[in-house]
């Protein structure tokens, strides 16, 4: 519609110009404007169509040649048509004198159309390319997030199966209980597989199912204390954020010890962000040589892919305590 309006506006100006400056009657000026601009618009449409089938190499030079050719063809069609419709001698003389100027104007207009079409085509291709690259990047990010999430399940599953295997001979009842807890945990995991975001309260329920399994494994030795502010429960967080951190705390807090340990989990919301702190006992002389494992590194990678920030997971050791500070910004 804007293009049609521009053509009509130009045609009206064309007719007024002929009437005002050259004394043509409104009838003659109207026919002149209508035929001339109709031919030019048709030629421009044909020129744009031809350019879409031409190679990109040397397209600007080709467009100049096509504009010259198309202007000549349009001029010939206009002259043949208008001379049949209008036979007034004075107008035909004016038409003969104005032919070179009309041809130049036609060339300029058609070349402007050609160049605009070329730039528009390249801009459109650029936008489409950027869209494709963005879609591919999003797909790659989603695929990596899914891969990281799936990595958590075998990691925890292997630990649980090893514990069940150890319990079968010494405590069959506890082994059966752990199998049931593990079944419930995996069922819940599958149910939430397509939920990238959940509330903190949902994640805590998920965490309680996980801890039920670990308590079968470690019994009275494991104690987890939660201190969560009321306003934090509805905060949206990525799925499976807390479980790998608590698993990491259990692994390194209980490793090499025989006594009871206490893991603290605190959560609060401040300044538009959620802050989670998890602490566990830490003895540097009794830690496994393999390091912190997949838990922290996998979580850091996931949060970077989601928030594009590398400062959301921080750890520090103070005396005999290992602390993980996790920042969860608002859902992007």
104-146 pLDDT, tens digit each = 989 999 989 889 988 988 898 888 888 777 765 665 556 555 5
Are residues 125 and 183 both part of a single domain? no
Q: Of residues 133 and 26, which shows the higher confidence score?
A: 26
Positive or negative, the CA dihedral 119, 123, 126, 128 is negative
Are residues 175 and 318 both part of a single domain? yes
In a domain, 112, yes or no: yes
In a domain, 157, yes or no: no
Contact 329, 269 (CB under 8 A): no
For the chain, state the CA radius of gyration: 38
- What is the reported pTM? 0.55
- Could you tell me where the beta strands, DSSP code E, fall in the chain? 197-199, 222-228, 236-238, 261-270, 273-281, 313-318, 321-329
The CA-atom distances, in angstroms, between 78 and each of 6, 45, 82, 85, 156 are 21, 16, 6, 11, 81
In a domain, 154, yes or no: no
Q: Which domain holds residue 224?
A: 171-329
| Per-residue pLDDT reduced to its tens digit, 234-268 | 999 987 788 888 888 887 777 656 678 888 999 99
Q: What is the mean pLDDT of residues 72-77?
A: 91
CA-wise closest residue to 178 among 189, 168, 187: 168
- Show Cβ contacts of residue 129 under 8 Å, excluding neighbours closer than 6 positions: none
Distance separating alpha carbons of residues 12 and 36, to the nearest angstrom: 12
The pLDDT, as a whole number, for residue 233 is: 92
Are residues 125 and 188 both part of a single domain? no
Distance separating alpha carbons of residues 203 and 210, to the nearest angstrom: 10
Of 132, 163, 180, the residue at which a domain comes to its end is: 132
Are residues 126 and 176 both part of a single domain? no
pLDDT of 304 above 70:
yes
Percent of the chain residues past pLDDT 90, beyond the cut:
19
Q: What is the mean pLDDT of residues 265-282?
A: 91
Are residues 231 and 322 both part of a single domain? yes
Of 132, 160, 192, the residue at which a domain comes to its end is: 132
Number of compact structural domains in the chain? 2
Q: What is the mean pLDDT of residues 205-214?
A: 82
Question: Which residue do the tokens 């504009």 mark?
Answer: 67
In a domain, 166, yes or no: no
Would you place residue 291 in the very low, low, confident or very high pLDDT band (cuts 50, 70, 90)? very low
Are residues 127 and 215 both part of a single domain? no
Q: Please, what is the average pLDDT of the chain? A: 82
The pLDDT, as a whole number, for residue 252 is: 76
Question: Could you tell me how far CA 185 lies from the centroid of its own chain?
Answer: 32
């Amino acid at each position: 519609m804007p293009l049609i309006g521009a053509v009509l506006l130009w045609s009206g100006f064309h007719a007024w110009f002929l009437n005002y400056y050259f004394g043509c009657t409104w009838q003659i000026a109207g026919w002149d404007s209508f035929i001339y601009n109709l031919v030019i618009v048709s030629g421009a449409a044909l020129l744009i169509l031809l350019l879409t089938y031409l190679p990109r190499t040397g397209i600007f030079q080709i467009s100049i040649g096509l504009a010259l050719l198309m202007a000549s063809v349009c001029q010939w069609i206009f002259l043949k048509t208008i001379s049949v419709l209008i036979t007034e001698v004075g107008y035909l003389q004016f038409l003969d004198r104005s032919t070179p100027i009309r041809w130049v104007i036609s060339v300029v207009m058609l070349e402007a159309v050609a160049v605009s079409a070329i730039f528009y085509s390249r801009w459109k291709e650029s936008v489409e390319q950027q869209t494709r690259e963005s879609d591919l990047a999003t797909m790659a990010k989603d695929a990596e997030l899914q891969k990281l999430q799936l990595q958590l399940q075998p990691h925890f599953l292997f630990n649980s199966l090893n514990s069940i295997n150890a319990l079968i001979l010494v405590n069959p009842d506890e082994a059966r209980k752990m199998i049931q807890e593990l079944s419930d945990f995996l069922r819940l995991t599958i149910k939430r597989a397509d939920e990238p975001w959940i509330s903190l309260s949902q994640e805590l329920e998920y965490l309680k199912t996980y801890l039920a399994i670990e308590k079968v494994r470690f019994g009275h030795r494991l104690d987890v204390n939660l201190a969560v502010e009321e306003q934090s429960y509805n905060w949206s967080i990525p799925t499976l954020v807390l479980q790998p951190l608590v698993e990491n705390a259990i692994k390194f807090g209980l490793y090499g010890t025989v006594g009871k340990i206490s893991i603290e989990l605190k959560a609060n919301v401040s300044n538009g962000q959620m802050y989670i702190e998890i602490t566990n006992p830490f003895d540097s002389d009794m830690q496994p040589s393999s390091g912190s494992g997949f838990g922290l590194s996998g979580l850091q990678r996931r949060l970077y892919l989601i928030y594009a920030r590398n400062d959301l997971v921080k750890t520090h050791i103070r005396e005999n305590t290992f602390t993980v500070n996790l920042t969860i910004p608002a859902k992007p």
